[in-house]
Amino acid sequence: MEKLLLLGDEAIAQAAIDAGLSGIYAYPGTPSTEIMEYIQASPEAKELNIRSLWSANEKTAMEAALGMSYAGKRAMVCMKHVGLNVAADAFINSAITGANGGLIVVSADDPSMHSSQNEQDSRFYGKFALIPVLEPSNQQEAYDMVHYGFQISEQMRVPVMLRITTRLAHSRTGIARRPVRTQNKMSLPSNLKQFILLPAIARKQYRELLGKQEHLEMLSADSGFNQFFDYPENRKLGIIACGLAYNYLIENFEGHKVTHPVLKVGQYPVMPAMVNELYEKCDEILVLEDGYPIIEELIRGMLNKGKKVMGRLDGTLPRDGELNPVIVAKALGIEVTPGNSVPAIVKNRPPRLCDGCGHNDAFLALNEALHDYSRGRVFSDIGCYTLSALEPLEAINSCVDMGASITMAMGAADAGLVPAVAAIGDSTFTHSGMTSLLDAINNNAPITVLILDNSTTGMTGGQTSSAYGKIEAICKGLGVSEEHIHVIKPMPKYHDENVDILRKELAYQGVSVIIPRRECIQTLGRKLRQKAKAKEMEVQN
């Protein structure tokens, strides 16, 4: 069969289509976004009637996917690693309810924080939930693991996590497809109490999950994703390489033939016997993980009294950041010829707000309106507008988690920082800001909330925003008084007018909402190009 040239994310999406997926649920987040986007754009998926709309946040996505699994069909839910924090309640409990139709949770980690606020390792969540975790070493394995994941999810009646990282998600290579499976027909769980987590049932369900663990270890020993390659000629050092780290390891050896015994890990929980085989045969162990030192810590133990175990904890590898072939080479003592250093003349070029972006004008107005107050009172959120932290605007003082701006502003105001300002995007507002605003209203907090409405989910490339056309109604419905809701046009010609409105509302001792509304310059440009193209086609016809 001809190979398809796909990003890791796209390989996962194509695999899901081929494995009989009925629905995908997700909130955009780098590096996971392209999974949903691929399915939305796929004519095949359309023909197969695969459900593929964006969710308001990762929790609602996780719950909807669990509902589809309850009804017996295969579902996938995708998010970036920090999205799993949002979905955690539903995620952990889905392990207790178990799955009916196959359920795969894709969590895309971002070691080195290319586009994130932390580099948490989702494998911990998998272990926490006691469900199988699949961690591909390359894009083809990611494709294959989706097929396998649905299979064991249905066989073992548990959700399965697919853990990927940025490099795998955003690297393109040739992918061989497998035969297409048909979708499941709707069929409810045979025990209709399975999903009722009342304590009496939950205890039983939890014990059932615990009882599956040994079987899950056996699966990981048999699937082929965990493999031991012995090398009797050199057993001084044995290597455990998890996920993508395996590729960085073999990159360093002629013909990709490693001259050490290697345990390649791609599926968890790992069977202890497999680890023991390597441990017993070798004098020292090196553990390579693109993320936190999970396996390393397990083998080493708190007391570290056994054989020498090297990795991120003893300084053989850096404690943070993603791995790469050279870091692995250095850990192995392989000589590396470095290139020339970066000339001093090269200046940093950080990301910035686009030319003509409405956020820029909104923050220019806010900065001026706040000019007479002391600095440090603007709580922001997660999106393009977070770039207003950088020069020349330097307009905000926080970025923590989705929706935090409003509640942090309220807490700071409670402490006496009045006025406090929240700056949140439209999509982030409906993701996690609505409950924060409700708290602020119920507390009559003296805060000014800017809901920066560019009518899209901008930072991730312009996906549909759940907030579109609904913001004023939501604010009114939650209880913001109408005279303190203002829609403004963030453009240079309205600057003075906007500063006046902001000043007035900053002085108000209650919740006010200001909505600077201007379409994202990127999505606007895309729409205009599409329009021009359509017109051209019309003329040609």
Partner 1 sequence: MKKDIILAGVGGQGILSIAACIGMAALDEGLHLKQAEVHGMSQRGGAVQSHLRLSSDPIASDLIPEGSADLIISVEPMESLRYLPMLSRSGWIITSINPFINIPSYPVIELVLKEIWNQPHYITIDADAIAKESGSVKAANMVILGAAAPLLGLKPSSVEKAVENLFASKGKDVVSLNIKALNEGRSYALKHL
On whether the CB atoms of residues 163 and 133 are closer than 8 A, the answer is: yes
Q: How far is CA 219 from CA 171, 205, 276, 386, in A?
A: 28, 21, 17, 44
Q: DSSP string covering 461-512, please? A: T-BPPTTTTTHHHHHHHHT--GGGEEEE--SGGGHHHHHHHHHHHHHSSS-E
Q: Tell me if 20 sits within 8 A of 184, measured CB to CB.
A: yes
**95 or 162, CB closer to partner 1?**
162
262 phi, psi to nearest 5 deg: -135, 135
Judged by CB, which is closer to partner 1: 31, or 419? 31
Of 179 and 343, which has the nearer Cβ to partner 1? 343
Q: Please report how close the Cβ of residue 281 comes to partner 1 at its closest, in angstroms.
A: 24
Q: Which residues bind partner 1 (CB under 8 A)?
A: 5, 7, 30-31, 33-34, 114-115, 167-168, 170-174, 244, 247-248, 250-252, 255-256, 324-326, 329, 336-343, 345-354, 384, 387, 459-461
Answer positive or negative: Cα dihedral of 197, 203, 206, 212. negative
Residue whose entry in the numeric block shows the structure tokens 């016809």: 541
Q: 383 vs 446, which CB is nearer to partner 1?
A: 383
Task: Tell me the CA distances in angstroms from 275 to 50, 134, 159, one per residue in order.
Answer: 40, 17, 25
CB 520 within 8 A of CB 458: yes
Minimum CB–partner distance for residue 108 and partner 1 (Å): 11
DSSP state of 163: E
213-222 helix and 272-281 helix, angle to the nearest 10 degrees: 60
Q: How near is the Cβ of 275 to partner 1 at its closest, in Å? A: 23
Reading the block at residue 183, the tokens are 């979708």
Minimum CB distance to partner 1, residue 373 (Å) = 27
Residue nearer to partner 1 on the CB measure, 351 or 477: 351
Residue whose CB is less far from partner 1, 182 or 348 = 348
Residue 462: closest CA among 369, 354, 341, 335: 354
Q: How far is the CB of 330 from partner 1 (least distance, A)?
A: 10
Shortest Å, Cβ 346 to partner 1: 5
- Find the shortest distance in angstroms from Cβ 355 to partner 1: 8
Backbone angles phi, psi at 25, to 5 degrees: -130, 140
| Alpha-helix runs per DSSP H in 390-466 | 404-414, 426-428, 434-442
Compute the least distance from the CB of residue 200 to partner 1, in Å.
46
Q: How far is the CB of 91 from partner 1 (least distance, A)?
A: 23
- Residue 259 is classified by DSSP as S
CB of 173 to partner 1, least distance (A): 5
Structure tokens at 7: 């990003």
Question: The tokens 């994703």 sit on which residue?
Answer: 225
Give CA–CA dist 289/295, Å, rounded. Answer: 8
Nearer to partner 1, 66 or 353 (CB): 353
Residue number with CB closer to partner 1 (232 or 338): 338
Q: Provide, rounded to whole angstroms, the least separation between the CB of residue 16 and partner 1.
A: 20
| Identity at 363, one-letter amino acid code | F
Of 95 and 328, the one with the shorter C-beta distance to partner 1 is: 328
77 and 106 Cβ atoms separated by less than 8 Å: yes
Q: Which residues, other chains included, contact 263 with Cβ-Cβ below 8 Å and sequence gap of 6+?
A: 226, 227, 228, 229, 238, 239, 240, 241, 274, 275, 277, 278
Q: How far is the CB of 350 from partner 1 (least distance, A)?
A: 5
List, in sequence order, every beta strand (DSSP E) within 27-130. Answer: 51-54, 74-80, 103-109
Nearer Cβ to partner 1 (232/339): 339
Residue among 242 and 434 whose Cβ is closer to partner 1:
242
Q: How far is the CB of 137 from partner 1 (least distance, A)?
A: 9
Please say which residue, 101 or 462, places its beta carbon nearer to partner 1.
462
**Angstrom distance (rounded) from CA 148 to CA 328:** 29
The Cα–Cα gap between 206 and 93 comes to 10
CB of 130 to partner 1, least distance (A): 31
Cα distance between residue 107 and residue 54, in whole Å: 16
Phi and psi at residue 81, in whole multiples of 5°?
Answer: -55, -45
Nearer to partner 1, 349 or 493 (CB): 349
Element (H, E) at 44: helix 43-47
Give the span between the Cα atoms of 332 and 321, in whole angstroms: 18
* Residue number, 39 or 485, with CB nearest to partner 1: 39
